[in-house]
Amino acid sequence: MFVTRSALALSFTLALAAQDAPSTKTMTQPRYVEGKELVQPADYRTWVFVGASIGLSYSESGSSTGPGRFHHVYIQPEAYRYFARTGRFPEGTILVMEVHEPEQKVSINRQGYFEGERRALEVAVKDGETFEEGWAYFDFANGAKKSARAFAKEMCFSCHRQHGADDNVFTQFYPVLRGLKKKAN
């Protein structure tokens, strides 16, 4: 009887765990050409926005005089829901970062900055089958490159691994994902 109860409890727990991790079947998956060249993600502007920043740098000695550039970051809706429920990023997660020039004094704006022209389009992908480190990072030359090779491990991966609060992702800088963590935990 005890065994049966344990088995029941276990299957119940497993069922709950399965329920806790929402399906990612419909999620846009990373696509590659010529082996490991990532195809530029399409329609990411309808994905979920996770946070913005300006002039973010990891260096003490900055050479920039202005406010720096805006970054804003998107994630697939399914990966967002998966993270909301489990606190983890599913395989196939894609994060897209747009970099925008700061603009000011346009129209009635007198102080502060808004996002001007896009200057860069960069992508992080979680794909342990294709990349042995689990995550890989790509630069699409502000959209001009339709596919891109991953950066060498030392260029992005190592810093993301060391400093990303969750599984290589800088969730500490993204208010939308920080908010989800509070709910998931």
Q: What are φ and ψ of residue 49, in 5° steps? A: -80, 135
Please answer whether residues 135 and 163 qualify as being in contact, where contact means their C-beta atoms are separated by less than 8 angstroms.
Answer: no
Residue 140 near residue 122 (C-beta atoms within 8 A): yes
Chain residues that interact with a copy of itself, rule: CB under 8 A: 45-46, 48-49, 51-60, 62, 64, 67-68, 70, 72, 74, 77, 80, 100, 106-118, 159, 163, 165, 170, 172-176
Min separation Cβ 122 and a copy of itself, Å: 16
CB of 99 to a copy of itself, least distance (A): 11
Joined together, the tokens standing for residue 67 give 């406010």
Burial of 9 (0-12, 13-18, 19+ CB in 10 A): exposed
Nearer to a copy of itself, 19 or 64 (CB): 64
Q: CB-wise, 32 or 173, nearer to a copy of itself?
A: 173
Q: How far is the CB of 1 from a copy of itself (least distance, A)?
A: 45
Q: Which residues contact 78 (CB under 8 A, 6 or more apart)?
A: 22, 23, 24, 26, 27, 90
From the list 10, 29, 41, the residue with the least C-alpha distance to 148 is: 41
- β-strand partners of 137: 124
Q: For residues 130 and 184, which CB has a smaller minimum distance to a copy of itself in the complex?
A: 184
**Considering the complex, what minimum distance in angstroms separates the CB of residue 173 from a copy of itself?**
4
* Owner of token pair 């999620």: 27
Q: Closer to a copy of itself at the Cβ: 28 or 130?
A: 28
Tell me how far, at minimum, the Cβ of 13 lies from a copy of itself, in Å. 29
Closest alpha carbon to 30 in 19, 42, 18, 22: 42
CB of 25 or CB of 182, closer to a copy of itself: 182
